[in-house]
Structure 1
Amino acid sequence: MGGDQVSQLWHVQDAIKRTKVLTEGHFILSSGKHSKHYMQCAQLFQYPKEAEAAGKAIADLFRDERIDLVVGPALGGVIVAHEVARALNVRCIFTERKEGSMQMRRGFTIKPNERILVVEDVVTTGGSVKEVLALLEAESSQIVGIGALVNRNGNQNPFAYPFKSLTAIEIESYEATDCPLCKMGIPAIKPGSRMNQESK
């Protein structure tokens, strides 16, 4: 099945179910809070056609804007930012942490007057994206907005810029001291790629 056909038939909630992005158990999130659900979008992005369709769908949310550059935070935002940029036929770069601070590395630069879209896989508190935004603001960049596959805050926008996601999923979380799963004696696991740091 060709890429265009996949994109026409693709729906984010179906893809989340199909690729088992949302799992159930007892998880310690990167924020330190506990939850009985966890989202791992890498499960979706491991399939190139799914990643391509997701990128096109996010790009479609911003077709009315003139985007010159897409930026994603490593690690979760790298693949989705690349796919969005590919759908828009523009340049893509990513930021990454070094010694605890978000930086542009690998020779990446922001060109004058570039209109920038920041992209993430899942937004919870928006911590990673806010770090990217601060980095771009320090460069006096023209930030057009933020796009994401999933907004875990329901329909709330935690940013000072326009924010659009393909779907909104509210996932309940608990402080460790108040976690009902802990009280039930259910063992907790730490999933994800980034522990002991601020939540996405």
Structure 2
Amino acid sequence: MRGQEILDEFRDAGALLEGHFILSSGLRSPVFLQKMRIFEDPVRTERVCRALAEVIRESFGQVDLVVSPAIGGIVPGYETARALGCKAVFVERVDGEFQLRRGFEIHAGQRIVVVEDLVTTGLSSRECIAAIREYPGELLGLACIVDRSGGKADVGIPLVSLAQLDIPAYPADALPPELAAIPAVKPGSRVAA
């Protein structure tokens, strides 16, 4: 399941929204992927994350540990790790920086993949990767369900996805007229930067 099939999963779940949206980065976009509509359905989540696990195996081989950023990456990270037959941990913000907590560990020799739900600018991915680099282990790459940067996000390690979209994102003061004519809404969970 890749490309259009993944986008169909978002459409079928009511998770592909069109309008004028304020992204967590503060940028504006005509399209918003409400990923939690995917993750509220365990059957759909399992199906999508099983497909992501297949891409991870094809791209990186054996994986020993999945690390995800809290909070949006926890569900897909866990479910993808389950499909891979490995452990899942997550990093969470402490004083604004991602850290491993709760007794989670990364050991020397472990083959690690970061799992994200969506990548837009790659900022949270890069922050997660920076936290992981503080530990031993082999960081293989990052896998996400949808890369909404169209392959432009630079996370510093190989990035694979089930679907790529090239969805435009604009600063609030540089909106195209058709987007500026629509009231903006912020459906995400993080406060804009």
TM-score between both structures, scaled by the size of structure 1:
0.88
Q: Deviations over 1:159-198 (max 9, x none)?
A: 22221100011111211111235642x321112111134x
Q: Distance in 2 between matches of 1:84 and 1:54?
A: 9
Q: Indicate if the aligned counterparts of 1:26 and 1:181 stay in contact, CA closer than 8 A.
A: no
Q: Distance in 2 between matches of 1:62 and 1:196?
A: 31
User: Within 5 Å, which residues of 2 pair with 1:5-20?
Assistant: 11-20=5-14
Structure 2: runs of 5 or more not aligned: none
Q: Distance in 1 between matches of 2:41 and 2:33?
A: 16
Task: Give the equivalent residue in structure 2 for 1:28.
Answer: 22
1:91 equivalent among 87, 95, 107: 87
Letter matched to residue 123 of structure 1: V
How far apart are residue 41 of structure 1 and its match?
Answer: 0.8
How far apart are residue 66 of structure 1 and its match?
Answer: 1.4
Q: Distance in 2 between matches of 1:36 and 1:11?
A: 21
1:58 equivalent among 45, 49, 52: 52
Q: Report the aligned-residue RMSD.
A: 1.7
Q: Distance in 1 between matches of 2:15 and 2:108?
A: 38
Q: Distance in 2 between matches of 1:163 and 1:131?
A: 15
Letter matched to residue 63 of structure 1: R
How far apart are residue 98 of structure 1 and its match?
Answer: 1.8
Task: Give the equivalent residue in structure 1 for 2:138.
Answer: 142
Matched, 1:119 2:129: no
Structure 1: runs of 5 or more not aligned: 1-6
Mean Cα deviation higher: 32-41 or 156-165:
156-165
Runs of 4+ that moved beyond 2 A: 180-184
Letter matched to residue 144 of structure 2: A
What fraction of aligned residue pairs are identical, expressed as a percent? 39
For the residue of structure 2 that corresponds to 1:38, the secondary structure is strand
Q: Indicate if the aligned counterparts of 2:119 and 2:153 stay in contact, CA closer than 8 A.
A: no
TM-score between both structures, scaled by the size of structure 2:
0.91
Question: Between Structure 1 and Structure 2, how many residues are aligned?
Answer: 188
Q: Indicate if the aligned counterparts of 2:121 and 2:153 stay in contact, CA closer than 8 A.
A: no
Task: Give the equivalent residue in structure 1 for 2:39.
Answer: 45
Q: Deviations over 1:23-71 (max 9, x none)?
A: 0121111111111211111111110011101111011012241100001
